[in-house]
Structure 1
Amino acid sequence: MVELDAAIRSFYRDRYVEDDRLSRSGHGQLEFLRTQELLRRLLPAPPATILDVGGATGVHARWLAADGYSVTLVDPMVEHVEKAAAVGTFAAVMGDARQLEQEDDSVDVTLLLGPLYHLVEASDRAQTLAEAARVTRPGGMVVAAGISRYAGLLEYGNNGRLAEDNLHLFTDALATGRNYDDPEGFTNAHFHHAEELRSEFENAGLADIAVLGVEGPAAPTLDNATVDEIPRLLPSAIVLARLLETDPLMMSASLHFLAFGRVS
């Protein structure tokens, strides 16, 4: 298996609780519900087979299995795989997105809801998409998440932490797409423009490509809301995200994109 970046491994092992990432904040809840909505809208119906690559502790594998899909989760972190395997409703195995052990044309859908933004080299992202296409049957679907180039600026600009002394971190990431490990923040990552993500899908030979904004412009509002305010704000935020998900002038106000492509 290809070696995982040491900083990323340390981030998920020592600094970050992945298991409740999509439930502990208003933004996380919005991201989770919109990801569910988009996948349920565009994936083939159950009981299709899904390979959830980089699936961590199984936050999406759980509900996909409950919906009737046959799911195998793959992750490079042993701690994640052990937690995912304990759920018991889907398979969970160690593996790396760049070098999958699954056979050619063996699944209906391959999900990459994390790997592309932790692969900072374009060649690694290209290899990952090629692997996803290889293991997915002709006519099947590859789905990948990307973090918006504007995500850091939007987050820090709305939570009061953006200042002259740290502004360069976010303008550099905006210019290059590269986010460097921050002991008080996120780890090594690549941030995408929507069209960049589309181009990576095109270069992988995928067809019928759609790139959609996930959270819409209201994510920072939810991130800074109190726990009591979230239930009131969330339905409106979902409607707004849905309305603007393909608007080329507003898509980058989402903190994440989801790209869908069909294997020829």
Structure 2
Amino acid sequence: MSESTAEIVSFYEERYSEATRLDRRPQARLERIRTLELLRDLLPAAPARVLDVGGGPGAYARELMADGHRVRLIDLVPAHVAQAQAGTPPIEAAVGDARDLPELDGSWDATLLLGPVYHLQDRADRVRAIREAIRVTRPGGPVAVAAISRFAGPVDFAATARFDAHMLEESWRLITEGENIVSVGFTHAYFHRVPELLSECEEAGLADVVLHGVEGPAWSAAEAAVHGPSADVVFDAALQLARLYSAERDLAAASCHLLVTGTAR
């Protein structure tokens, strides 16, 4: 296990609770709602065989199982796999690396890559992970690839009143480099520009590509308004805009997360 991989595992097992992330904040609630809506539009009719790579403790896997799909989860973090297996309903899950999936060619109707790409700082590793997702998906089957926008972190700090001189300096650095500095509070990660993400998906061989901005352009407004009297009104407006502008490429980078959908060649 490489040093960066070990640090990622340590981050999720010792310092961060992924199991509760999607319920904690307006941004995360928007992420959950819109990701599920996009996946339900993308996936074949149930029951489909869905491989959830980097699926964490299984938040999306359980929703898709409730929809009637047969889901197998693979995650780098042993604690996430244990949580997925122990939850209700239990999920078929195993520890694995997105760059080298223990699955046969074309053995899944659809493959989700909703976390690994933004934890791989080398372009070659990201392309390899996307290529692996395509490899294990039947020809013509859907593949979903998630990334974090290059601008998400600084905007989040501004919306939640945490922006300071250090974050301004970090914002300048991120414009050109894109790699997260672990000391800032997150683990090893890479934050994408839209053209980079599309280029990596193209290089990996993903066909019929569509780009979505997941949370939409008003997610930061929902964060800023969360403790005010208009919190629900602003959140509802942010959700409506996320749906309306989902595939508007000019606005995609304003979202916190990007989602590329496509098909396996």
TM-score by length of 1: 0.94
- 1:170 aligns with 171
Question: Distance between the aligned counterparts of 1:258 and 1:229, measured in 2?
Answer: 29
**Matching residue of 1:245:** 246
Structure 1 residue 200: deviation in Å?
1.0
Partner of 1:116: 117
For residue 82 of structure 1, what is the aligned residue in structure 2? 82
Instruction: Quote how far apart the aligned CAs of 1:250 are.
Output: 1.6
Q: What is the aligned partner in structure 1 of residue 205 from structure 2?
A: 205
230-239 or 197-206: bigger deviation: 230-239
1:144 aligns with 2:145: yes
Counterpart in 1 of 2:70?
Answer: 70
Equivalent residue letter for 1:21:
R
| 1:198-237 residue CA offsets vs partner (Å, 9 max, x unmatched) | 1111111111001100001221222231298544433221
- Provide the rounded CA distance (Å) in 2 between the counterparts of 1:198 and 1:122: 12
CA displacement at 1:163 relative to structure 2: 2.1
Match of 1:101 in 2: 102
Residue-by-residue CA offset, 1:132-155 (whole Å, 9 max, x unaligned): 111111011111100001111211
> How far did residue 7 of structure 1 move?
2.1
Between Structure 1 and Structure 2, the one with more strand by share is: 1
CA change 1:109–1:227 in 2 (3 A) is farther
Q: Provide the rounded CA distance (Å) in 2 between the counterparts of 1:107 and 1:2.
A: 29
From the superposition, tell whether residues 152 and 33 of structure 1 become closer, same or farther in structure 2 (CA, over 3 Å): same
Q: 2:152 is aligned with what amino acid?
A: A
1:148-198 residue CA offsets vs partner (Å, 9 max, x unmatched): 01111211122222222332212212212111212x521110011122111
Which structure 2 residues correspond to residues 180-199 of structure 1 after superposition, within 5 A? 180-182=181-183, 185-199=185-199
Mapped contact 2:84–2:90 kept (Cα < 8 A)? no
Letter in 2 for 1:259: V
- Whole-Å separation in 2 of the counterparts to 1:29 and 1:19: 13
1:62 corresponds to which letter in structure 2?
R
Distance 1:210 1:171 in 2: 29
Q: 1:61, 1:90 within 8 Å by CA — same for their partners in 2?
A: yes
Q: 1:72 is aligned with what amino acid?
A: R
Instruction: Give, in whole Å, the separation in 1 of the partners of 2:49 and 2:256.
Output: 28
1:89/1:228 CA distance change after superposition, 3 Å: farther
**What is the letter of the counterpart of residue 132 of structure 1?**
A
Shift of 1:4: 6.1
Partner deviation per Cα, 1:32-79 (whole Å, 9 max, x = no partner): 001011111122111111000000100100100000110000011111
Question: Which ranges of structure 2 fall in alignment gaps of 5 or more residues?
Answer: none
Q: Which has the higher helix share?
A: 2
User: Contact 1:65–1:89 (CA<8 Å) still a contact in 2?
Assistant: no
187-196 vs 232-241, greater mean Cα deviation: 232-241
145-154 or 172-181, which deviates more: 172-181
How far 1:248 moved relative to its partner? 2.8
Q: 2: CA distance between counterparts of 1:230 and 1:43?
A: 32
Task: Say which SS state the counterpart of residue 46 (structure 2) adopts.
Answer: coil
Q: Which moved more, 1:105-114 or 1:86-95?
A: 86-95
Instruction: Find the residue that maps to 1:93 and give its secondary structure.
Output: strand
% of aligned pairs identical? 45
The alignment status of 1:221 with 2:221, answered yes or no, reads yes
**Aligned position for 1:54:** 54
* Residue type of the alignment partner of 1:246: A
Deviation per CA, 1:86-126: give whole Å up to 9, x if none.
12343111111011101111001110110000001111111
**Is 1:40 aligned with 2:56?**
no
Aligned length: 263
Query: Is the CA contact (8 Å cut-off) linking 1:198 and 1:210 kept in structure 2?
Result: no
Could you tell me which residue of structure 2 aligns to residue 26 of structure 1?
A: 26
Query: Which region of structure 1 is more displaced relative to structure 2, 2-11 or 136-145?
Result: 2-11
Whether the 8 Å CA contact 1:2–1:98 is kept in 2: the answer is no
Secondary structure of 2:39 counterpart: helix
SS in 2 for 1:31: helix
Indicate conservation of the 8 Å contact 2:52/2:73, yes or no. Answer: yes
